[in-house]
Amino acid sequence: MNPVRVRFAPSPTGGLHIGGLRTALYNYLLARQTGGTMILRIEDTDQSRFVPGAEQYIQESLAWAGISIDEGPAQGGPFGPYRQSERKEIYNKHIQILLASGNAYYAFDTEEELEQMRDRLKASGATAMQYDHSTRLQMRNSLTLPEDEVNKLVAAGKFVIRMKVEPGQIVVLDDIIRGNVQFDSGQVDDKVLMKSDGMPTYHLANVVDDHLMEITHVIRGEEWLPSAPLHVLLYKAFGWSDTMPRFAHLPLLLKPDGNGKLSKRDADQLGFPIFPLNWVDPRTNDLSAGYRESGYLPEALINFLVFLGWNPGTEQEIFSMKELISVFSMERIGKAGARFDIQKARWFNQQYLKAKTNEEIAEMLLSLLHPKGITCNHERALKIAEALKERITFPQELLSASDFYFKAPEKFDLTVVSKKWNDQAGKVLIDFAESISSISELTKTSAQECFETVCQENGVKPGQVLQLLRIAISGAGAGPDLMLSLEILGGSECAERIRKAVSVFSNS
């Protein structure tokens, strides 16, 4: 068996859709699992849709996600060039092979003539408005025009080249995900292979490139399944059937409610990103948010994406990239569309943040504090990280969650205070403030012991006063480990906050 060679072949027409990143991931996992080769090929033959900066964006997105490329425009390789716009001579050579063998022909029809053809088909009650075996002999092409006229029109350069698809064939595709899929060639139209600008269409370019680059597996989205019979026929026409790659058409990514394919508009309306990184459209200067800038960790996003269509056959949900490479199987990808549950993506991010060390979380915190001009030493940052890391879903939440560690609260949750407050609670808080104010090195343990002692001396249970103490310290009725927060703030600071809060509570 030949070594596995897979390719991710996006078009540089804008930001990389999250579905494209999933396609790249599945290709990458198969390549790494088998010791194969991962190729990036830029399919930029449609120059009218080319967007400057999109190729660099794609490469940066893959690198951020941890999907490394073995061969591509930046890496080079023995099968280059890896941009289709640089392979024009290769396509010209191969289109001539199809013309010479009678598997392709020149078509000279104008847009007006094509529209008239569609009108005739519509009037006759035809279900398919396409240029195919049933209509091509009624059109202006090299199959119907005299040779001298064909030569003149070709010399004038006003033509496209179409695939000549003969009816009466059963085209068989052995899809890794969908099994044996059969198509009637009579339903396949004579697709354009070479456009009037001399550039190939996707159909010609991707078949020629996959063959010449010795691609063994074509893993792509379900939307390309209707094109598969044409591609199989192209392999046959070139005489490459024996080396045709195996196909796997991935299930669609569906809207969160499961109704229809996920689009950028859906994501925008529902408030979550559709691109891996921030994307600024150079044509409009519009900014589309990315997962990276929204606070998603690349390993969390990858873990989320791999489950959109694949399952490991076990209850395990958290997988490192190394583990995914070990257990991934194309055969465990389902046919049904995968519902894009952004809440699950958030959950994955939360789990990966929890698994970070205090050191890593502290570094995130310090990087957020520095631009705000907030000073915090490393030891204190480590303690704040310990207090907060299980309470956040995104790194940027560290800034707001840690605010009370650097600034005494100015507002308090008085709704909760009104339910809990009485003179006895006030005395407990003041006594506690007095007890800790003189403790130079307040710790979580000593704070807890001191609080329990004061409560016991006043004849109340700690639970009766605990939430009031929390509000006095942070302003909120819920938050991170309270005793650890007291340690972080220190006895003197805590005592001052409690006294101020008691004054407010008493007068509210």
Scan for tokens 């995914």, then name that residue: 324
- 352 close to 344: Cβ distance less than 8 angstroms: no
Helix 202-212 × helix 228-238 angle, to 10°: 50
Examine the residue annotation and report whether 354 is marked as an active-site residue of this protein: no
Alpha-carbon Rg for the chain, nearest whole angstrom, is 32
Spell out the long-range contacts of 179-187 with Cβ–Cβ below 8 A and sequence spacing 24 or more.
181/225, 181/228, 183/228, 183/229, 185/229, 185/233, 186/132, 186/133, 187/128
Side chain identity at residue 165, one-letter code: V
Out of 264, 356, 383, 427, the active site residue is 264
* List of residues 6+ apart from 226 with CB closer than 8 A: none
Task: Give the C-alpha separation, 21 to 29, whole Å.
Answer: 12
Q: How many residues does the chain have?
A: 508
List the structure tokens of 35.
Answer: 């010791």
As given in the structure block, the two tokens for residue 347 are 């959950």
Residues 310 and 421: their CA atoms lie apart, in Å, by 54
Q: Which residue is listed with tokens 């059963």?
A: 170
CA dihedral 192, 195, 200, 204 (to 10 degrees): 10
Q: Which residue has the tokens 């390309």?
A: 224
DSSP 475: S
Token pair listed for 85: 């716009």
How wide is the angle at C-alpha 366 spanned by C-alphas 297 and 358, nearest 5°?
65
Distance CA(47)–CA(51), nearest Å, equals 9
How many of the other CB atoms lie within 10 Å of CB of 279?
Answer: 23
Q: What is the DSSP string of 136-193?
A: GGGSSBTTTS-HHHHHHHHHHT--EEEE---SS-EEEEEETTTEEEEEEGGG----EE
Residues carrying an active site annotation: 264
